[in-house]
Amino acid sequence: MKFTDGFWHIRPGVSATYAQEAHDITPAGDSIVVHAPGRQILDRGNTLNQPLLTVTLSSPLEGVVRVRIEHHQGALRSPGFAIHEQQGAAQVSVDDAAGTLTTGGLTARVTKGAPWDLSFSRGGVRLTGSGHKSVGYMTLGADAPVSAEPAGIAGYSATGLAPHRTYVHEQLDLGVGELIYGLGERFGPFVKNGQSVDIWNADGGTSSELAYKNIPFYLSSRGYGVFVNQPEHVSFEVGSESVERVQFSTAGEALEYFVIDGPTPKDVMDRYTQLTGRPPVVPAWSYGLWLSTSFTTEYDEATVNSFVDGMRERDIPLSVFHFDCFWMREFNWTDLEWDARTFPDPEGMLARLHDEKDLRVCVWINPYIAQRSAMFGEAAAADYLVKRADGSVWQWDWWQAGMGLVDFTNPEARSWFKEKLRAVVRQGVDALKTDFGERIPTDVVWHDGTSPQTMHNLYTQLYNQAVWEVLLEERGLGEAMLFSRSATAGGQTMPVHWGGDNSSSYTSMAETLRGGLSLASSGFGYWSHDIGGFEGTPDPGVFKRWVAFGLLSSHSRLHGSTSYRVPWAFDDEAVDITRKFAQLKNTLMPYLFTAGADVAASGVSIARPMFFEFPDDPAVGYLDRQYMLGRDLLVAPVMSADGVVDFYLPAGVWTSLLTGERVEGGRWVRETHALDSLPVYVRPGAVIPRGARGDRPDYDFLDGLVLEVYSDGEALDASVDVVTAEGERVTFTVTGSGDSVTATGSGGEAVEVVNRH
């Protein structure tokens, strides 16, 4: 949201009060309270008839500074997000010149007097700061164009006009060459500089500026992060209003944000996920290939069996089968009842899929209750559905006829919905796909009185938490598994998330990857996407290229809208390629599952942007068509019909995982790949643990384990961890040179070592 008209003026109808000086700075335990008037105080008369902004500095966690800006402190207060705090994380000092708060290696310093200056530094070097005209309280007057309608369900404003009269904003310095990432799963340019970004969950597909997963957190290339602790709409102007600053604003009387220290991107992720929650370990079986019924296709148990048996006959390893919406009867979603016309024996079918086909099962749900379903009447009678101000149930016909919305702020409604889900899980369902949760109205009243503006983005958290709790209770930690589309800050604690409705094209492959890298830059550890694209039917070339890409993601699902995604629907080569990469991924499970365990320990994603691993290489800052899969594998999906792919290799000698070819890095490389190939390069000096099985992802990783060493022939003294499917971490020490390389496990385990130099 922009408030200014260039550098000198504000927009018509807007009145601005800026923190002009730190009038007084007061220590308050382990906090600092600063009173900042809207004008310089030159005499006592200046203290009359003007606003005063209160800025409070504190630390919830070592290496994190909280800044709270308030105008009227008696106004309704945002609940913020659920965060984890420590006591005594900061040291405070106030003298006549300034107040400083130090936590870990991060220091916040606010100088006494004018002009206003709040700086954040590490080792005496300023990372960013809030300067003149940065802290602002903005009022839209009677002559300002303001929307008379509530905020939109898709975009934030239904009319394009501001829906509120007062806003608080902050601006932080944007340094020369500094790049900004994150702000959730966004499908536009990976680097956010120059963009206006609204944090407002929306069902907009992957080809628009809207996003399913809006996270008010950004990551700077200078080694710090900023998290705005507001579940409400937050508007970011990333060098797009003031090109020297990142601005963020929210409606109301207060704004709270955190500055999070690094110094590396992975250090920032560590602290951010300590603050907002760690992703847990997900089960080994979930890394295998998932196959879906697709969305609006015709299917019954015979169809399902034909798909499952077809994969087995073609020697394509399959781990999970997913039933999309039409496992329930049309016009009845979500009633959580199998359509008896097509699935007359659901318990028997699920048992057969488990016992005879050796598969896990996932089913689709959403939080919307269709009027035709029995659950609607039950929920409406018990006041479990969201209501309008006049007491009527909020309903509309978009998606499902007459649907209502479960009010998860009502503990009884939450328990009721969980019991319905529990019955489904007990039938034999292993995972739940929590679709939707973005189109949440603002012209409603919530049971617990939460503001509709707060609940629009926060709803998905309550929805997914209810489902996650059922799976934890029924399946246990380490087996619980969601497949979610919408999220907000903290959603990373309930994995896995997929990228939403993409289209069946090379350009959509690219935008899908940008969304995944942006999500990884926002604290999410696992990520999937619809292989081949959701909308439309991919041509065989797109499907084959996407299969390789999808099976080199943390989680891999074949899913579409109006057509099936079984590989033989395309051609025999598609079958061969699916088999090849599904088996390859399974052999990489000791490496991938260990990376997943590291997600739970540090918050760093499995598929990650290049700058996570090479933050000091200026060439990687804008790279969004390649990524690191774990620490040591570089993947560059082929996104062209001719097979030509350009990618960048950082310094050192890299080795192709697929061919063994060695390529000198520190430069751009152009290669042409057949449909069954793509650039997958091993980092110089890496040790890659490879499993003995390609037929499934959940096996004994230590049985037949091979450590592949990419050492360039020099003397080696390295270690590599392998986390087993049961959660045991074994550290192997690798020593030697040339072909005389040996490894010993921390428990005395013997293992084969192969030097790929």
Residues annotated as part of the active site: 435, 438, 501
β-strand partners of 237: 196, 247
For helices 346-355 and 301-313, angle between their N-to-C axes, nearest 10 degrees: 10
Can you tell me the distance from the alpha carbon of 415 to that of 384, in angstroms, rounded to the nearest whole number?
10
| CB 500 within 8 Å of CB 211 | no
**The sheet that has 607-608: what strands, in order across it?**
607-608, 627-629, 633-635, 680-682, 653-656, 662-664
Q: 3-state DSSP call for residue 569?
A: helix
Cβ atoms of 482 and 467 within 8 Å: the answer is: yes
Measured in degrees and rounded to the nearest 5, phi and psi for residue 238 equal -95, 90
Burial code of 718-754, b = ≥16 C-beta within 10 A, e = fewer?
Answer: bebbbbbbeeeebebebebeeeebebeeeeeeebebe
Lookup result for tokens 């080569």? 573
Are the CB atoms for 688 and 682 separated by under 8 Å?
Answer: yes
The answer to whether the CB of 646 falls within 8 A of the CB of 678 is no
Contacts of 141-146 spanning 24+ positions with Cβ under 8 A? 141/13, 141/14, 141/15, 142/13, 143/12, 143/13, 144/11, 144/12, 144/13, 144/14, 145/13
CA atoms of 363 and 376, how far apart (whole Å): 20
Q: Do you know the residue count of the chain?
A: 757
How far is Cα 101 from Cα 378, in angstroms, rounded to an integer?
54
Q: What is the DSSP letter of 325?
A: G
Q: How far is 685 from 227, CA to CA, in rounded Å?
A: 35
- Residue 218 near residue 238 (C-beta atoms within 8 A): yes
Pairwise CA distance, residues 459 & 406, whole Å: 10
* Contact residues for 335 (Cβ-Cβ < 8 A; gap 6+): 328, 329, 369, 370, 373, 374, 375
> Closest Cα to residue 416, out of 388, 445, 372, 447?
447
Q: Which residues contact 15 (CB under 8 A, 6 or more apart)?
A: 138, 139, 140, 141
Q: Are 700 and 746 in contact (CB under 8 A)?
A: no
Q: How far apart are CA 532 and CA 577, in angstroms?
A: 13
CA 215 vs. chain centroid, Å, equals 8
State the Cα–Cα distance between residues 185 and 180, nearest whole angstrom.
14
Please name the residues in contact with 352: beta carbons below 8 A apart, sequence gap of 6 or more.
none
CA-to-CA distance for 744 and 591, rounded, in angstroms?
17
What is the DSSP track for 653-718? EEEETTT--EEE-SEEEEEE--TT---EEEPTT-EEEE-S-SS-SSS-TTTT-EEEE--TTS-EEE
Q: What is the CA radius of gyration of the chain?
A: 27
* CB crowding 561-580: b at 16 or more within 10 Å, else e: bebbbbbbbbeebbbbbbbb
264, burial (CB in 10 Å: exposed 0-12, middle 13-18, buried 19+): middle
